[in-house]
Every structure is written in structure tokens, then in C-alpha cells.
Structure 1
Amino acid sequence: MSLHINTPLIASTSLSARTGREVWLKLDALQPAGSFKIRGVGLACQTYQERGARRFVSSSGGNAGLAVAYAGRQLGVPVTVVVPQTTTERAKSLIAAEGAQVQVHGASWVEANAHAQSLLDAQSAFIHPFDDPLLWQGHASLVDEVAAAGLQPDLIVLSVGGGGLLCGVLAGLARNGWSDIPVLAMETMGADSLAQALATRSHVTLPAIRSIATSLGARQVCRQAFEQSQRLPVRSAVVDDRAAVEAALAFADDHRVIVEPACGAALAAVYQNLAALEAAQRVLVVVCGGVGASHAQLVAWQQSL
């Protein structure tokens, strides 16, 4: 039994009218833990439990940690999540509400991850937020559901942080015979590690994260994401924080669903009708979700940017 659900796939009347193309939304913001993360995290947790793990440890800016906490509660396995200091109080409280122990350590995910690694023992399994083939296998189910619904898009738009969702979608495209479908990878300025890697054709590490989209706050994408982006039709576009926040707010008005600025980066591609969409008539946007922002927080960010 999977821990994720088959999420709605809907045509967006408002975004189709705005862009002059057919825009479809895969609403993974409606997953039980609030984001797509539970697809891969659920599979990984179930697999590691079957292999004998009696405790899960994760490092996360919020969404992956919440997914691990949710999976642990469903499976009856204790969970420790280490989050960096940039994690919102809302995300920390939601993780704790699932029964997980929350530890705050370090200024960024890198420091939090190092501390999480130090907590591991022989009975613990480390659940990486984005760099594990089990995660990609689980995330690929998103594409399976789209294919099963009979929809074949011309372009898939998604947000990229560490690259787990990108790797999963590319895996899903491959196993459905759709590897020729291009993917538009969206990031925010200051968290654009993939864009810089593609521009320089090197696996770059950002010196720091300078974006409010902390869920995109991996200073370097995983190697799998970098390497696959070199050989598959992956395009990149970057928007500023304000565009991401305003897209999230507009989406809340249009579709009555709250998402983080990290997800707003993908939505900004269609709200701004970016030139990168030009060749596509049928566009699928992965509404990946995120629980670190409320509507009030989105409005506060909009006013401050």
C-alpha cells in the first residue's frame, strides 16, 4: 500500500485563457503531507523499514521532513528531522505535530544535513530529501498517473531545488516512453543552482542561498539531475522572488490552493507566459505544493519585496 494518493489532474481555465494554450495542473499540493515529497519519501521509508530500519533520520528545509514524519507515523517508526535555522515556524510545528522530533541546526541545509548524518546508528535509515534512487522511483508515479489519465503534454513545467522531483519526472517519462517530452525547470534567483550548472556545463555549488524560496535552497543539485539535464531535453528559466510569490497568490485566487514560493516558481512560468513556453500547446504544470507558507505569509512577502 502506497503512502501517497493519486492527485487530481485538472485543466486550468484561467491559465489557459491567460497563456493562449492548454494548461493542465497536477495538484500534488493535495498530497497528505502537503507536497509531492511523500511519493518518493513514502517508498523509501517503506523500503528501508522492510530492510530492518527501526528509526528514520532526515535533513530538510521543511517539506521532505514533513513527508518523513508523516510516513514514520503511518508505519509506526520514530523519526528525527534536522532542519536549518531558515525553516519557518509553521513547517517545524507541522513536522512536530506528526510526532517527529525536530532539531534545528545550522544556517543552511548543508549544516543540517551534516548534523543529521552524525545522529545515525545501526538501526537508523537516513531519508535524503532529494538524492536517492528510491525517491526518484517514487516521484515517477506522478507521470504514471498523467499517462494513465490519457494526457500527453508537449511540455512539463516544474520547480527544481535539489533535483529530486526533476529526476523523478525524467524517470517517469522514460518508463512511459516519453523521454522526448521537454521539461522546463524553474528556479528563483539566488537558488538557481541548476540554471548555473546548465549555463556553465559544470556541477556548480552556490556560495549561499539568497532567495525566500527556501524549499529550493540546495546549493547544488544532485549529480543525477545535473547529468540527466545534459543529455535530455531539460530547459531552464529563473524568476525573482516577487514573481514566485505573486504567482502563488494568484494561484490561491484562481484555484483556492495555497502553495509555497518554491512552487510559485513553476507557476510563474505560466502566469508570466514565459517565452520558454512558446513551442508548447499543451502544458502540464506540476503544482508541487509546500507547507512552509500561509496566505498571510505570502502577502507579507509580497509587501516586503
Structure 2
Amino acid sequence: MKLHIESPLIESRPLSLLVQRNVWLKLDALQPSGSFKIRGIGTACEAYARQGKRRFISSSGGNAGMAVAYAGRCLNIPVTVVVPQTTTERAKALIARENAEVIVHGASWQEANALAQSMLSDDAAFLHPFDDPLLWAGHASLVDEVAAAGMKPGAVVLSVGGGGLLAGVVQGLRRNGWHDVPVIAMETRGADSLSQSLRAGHRITLDAITSLATSLGAKQVCQEAFDLARSHPVHSVVVEDIAALNACERFLDDHRILVEPACGASLAAVYEQIPQLAEVDEILVVVCGGATATLDQIRQWAARPDIKAA
């Protein structure tokens, strides 16, 4: 069985009316594991299973771990996921619900990843959350589905954490001959490693993740995403946490789908009407998903004085 679904591609009437142009949504929030991650991670897990691997080990702030856990359960392969201390209780519970072992270690993904790497053995496969060609090839299927639907976007809006989705989408655009379609790469302030890297001209490492969008919390974007951001038309945009949180609530009202702040960063591009989209007629937003935040959490975060004042 295929581990990911062909997600719906719909026109958003509320967002289209808001910006007076067509806005399309690729609803990967409806994937079985709750996010786009299952596209690439499912591809990788199936490849490793064919190689005879008997255990999957991953490091994740939430969504990648959920995808590995789901894939492992479907393939009858045991899974261990190492998550950082910033991971929400809900995310840990959802990973464990897929019968995976959850280990909490370190203040950020980097520390969790170091422990996960130390646990590898010959019969185990390591599932990186964003830096693996197998993942990018799997994520590229998202663009294949859009092309098969006969819709060519004027721009693709997506969120960037470690850069796996960006790398996959650009790969998908290129293999469909859409070299001219720009990507709007959205980050939240405090998790903006791509934006800072592009300004510096080389990959930088953030001192810490200070954004609430912990799913975007890679201190350094992967080399592939950085290189593609300089060779493909990619526009880097950073929004405040409050804009991402407000977008989550507005999207819930508009489309009855709850997403986490990492996805809210992409939706904020339309709700905040960023200038980079001012001349784009057919806007495609990757609703990447994320089952790790509840509505109560989103409202609590948005009510914090330091967030409201941003």
C-alpha cells in the first residue's frame, strides 16, 4: 500500500476573495500522519525496508517522527524517535500512539539528533527529518500531483524549517519543466535559518530557536535547500509568530482545518498579503499540516504579552 495519499488540491474561496486573485491549497494536512512529511519519509522507509533494515531510528521535533512511526507501523518495523525537550506533549503522545518508542533528549533538534545517531546499528536505518535525497524525491510528488491536475501555479508558498520541503518542491517544479515558477519560502522570526543564511551568503547556525513554531526549529538549513534557494527563484520571507498564530485561527474559521504555527507561517503570506505575492495571479499554498498543536495552545501562545506585542 502507498504510505501517503494524493492530497486534495482546492481553490480557497475565502483567501481568493481576500486577495482578489486565485489562491489554491494543497492540503497535505490531511495526510495519514498529519503532515507532508510522510511523502518523503514513506519513500525512504520503503527503500530501507527493501534493503532489509529491521529498525527505524529518527530525530524529530514532531511531524517527521510521526511520519516515521506511522510508516514503521504500516511496514511492521519497530521505530525509535528521539525528540528535543521543546516537543509538545501532544506530539510525543501522537508518536507513541503509532507504537513507536519516544526518547526525550536535548534542548534542540541538534542534540536529539546526536543521540539518535549514536543508537544506530547495522540492521537499523536512520530517517533524517529533512536532509536526505530520498526525502526530497518523495516530497516532489506533491508538485507532480498539481501538474497532473492541470494547474500551473504562479508561485508556490511553503514553510521552511530544515529545508526538506523546499528541496522537494523545487525538485518537483524542475522535473515538471516549471523552472520559472518561484517559491515563497516562509519562516518565523527566531527560526529563520534560511533567511539569515541567504543574507550572509553562506549557511549560518542559529544560536537557539526562539520561535513558537518549533517544527521549523532547525538551527541550520540543509545544504541542498540553501543551494536551491540561490539557483531557483526563491523569495525568503520572515513573519512574526503572532502572524503565524493568527493565520492558524483564521484558516480554521475559513476551512475547518487546524494546522500548527509552522504551517501558519505559509498561510500568513496570504492573510498578511505580503508584497512578494502582489503580482501573482495563481497562488499555490502548501498546507503542510502538523497535528502537534491544539487550538487551546495556539490561543494561549497568541495571548502571551511578548507575542501580542510583536
Q: Distance in 1 between matches of 2:84 and 2:136?
A: 24
The equivalent residue for 1:137 is 137
The equivalent residue for 1:122 is 122
Q: Distance in 1 between matches of 2:193 and 2:149?
A: 33
The equivalent residue for 1:49 is 49
Q: Distance in 2 between matches of 1:24 and 1:5?
A: 18
Q: Distance in 2 between matches of 1:225 and 1:279?
A: 25
The equivalent residue for 2:149 is 149
Following superposition, the deviation at residue 299 of structure 1 comes to: 1.1
Whether contact under 8 Å (1:252, 1:258) holds in the other structure is yes
| Deviations 1:48-82 (CA, angstroms, capped at 9, x unpaired) | 11011100000000000000000000000000000
Q: Distance in 1 between matches of 2:139 and 2:231?
A: 20
Whether contact under 8 Å (1:159, 1:185) holds in the other structure is yes
TM-score by length of 2: 0.98
| Deviations 1:232-255 (CA, angstroms, capped at 9, x unpaired) | 100110000000000011000000
Following superposition, the deviation at residue 279 of structure 1 comes to: 2.0
The equivalent residue for 1:67 is 67
Q: Distance in 1 between matches of 2:204 and 2:291?
A: 28
Whether contact under 8 Å (1:37, 1:63) holds in the other structure is yes
Q: Distance in 2 between matches of 1:241 and 1:189?
A: 7
| Deviations 1:141-198 (CA, angstroms, capped at 9, x unpaired) | 0000000001001000000000000000001001100011000000000000001111
| Deviations 1:281-305 (CA, angstroms, capped at 9, x unpaired) | 1100000000110111111111112
Matches within 5 A, 1:1-305: 1-304=1-304, 305=307
State the one-letter code of the partner of 1:82: V
Structure 1 unpaired stretches of 5+: none
Q: Distance in 2 between matches of 1:201 and 1:169?
A: 22
State the one-letter code of the partner of 1:100: A
Secondary structure of the equivalent of 1:10?
strand
Q: Distance in 2 between matches of 1:154 and 1:200?
A: 28
C-alpha RMSD over aligned residues: 0.6
Q: Distance in 1 between matches of 2:161 and 2:279?
A: 25
Secondary structure of the equivalent of 1:198?
helix
State the one-letter code of the partner of 1:299: R
Q: Distance in 1 between matches of 2:193 and 2:278?
A: 24
Following superposition, the deviation at residue 266 of structure 1 comes to: 0.3
Q: Distance in 1 between matches of 2:295 and 2:207?
A: 30
TM-score by length of 1: 0.99
Following superposition, the deviation at residue 199 of structure 1 comes to: 1.3
Secondary structure of the equivalent of 1:77?
coil
Secondary structure of the equivalent of 2:6?
coil
| Deviations 1:18-75 (CA, angstroms, capped at 9, x unpaired) | 1111100000000000000000000000001101110000000000000000000000
Following superposition, the deviation at residue 115 of structure 1 comes to: 0.2
Identity among equivalent pairs (%): 65
Q: Distance in 1 between matches of 2:67 and 2:106?
A: 21
Q: Distance in 2 between matches of 1:100 and 1:125?
A: 15
Q: Distance in 1 between matches of 2:103 and 2:35?
A: 21
State the one-letter code of the partner of 2:159: S
Question: Once superposed, which parts of structure 1, at least 4 consecutive aligned residues long, lie more than 4 Å away?
Answer: none
Whether contact under 8 Å (1:2, 1:43) holds in the other structure is no
| Deviations 1:98-134 (CA, angstroms, capped at 9, x unpaired) | 0000000000000000000011101000000000000
| Deviations 1:203-229 (CA, angstroms, capped at 9, x unpaired) | 111111110000000001000000111
Secondary structure of the equivalent of 2:24?
strand
293-302 or 90-99, larger mean C-alpha shift: 293-302
State the one-letter code of the partner of 1:222: C
> How many residue pairs end up in the alignment?
305
Structure 2 unpaired stretches of 5+: none
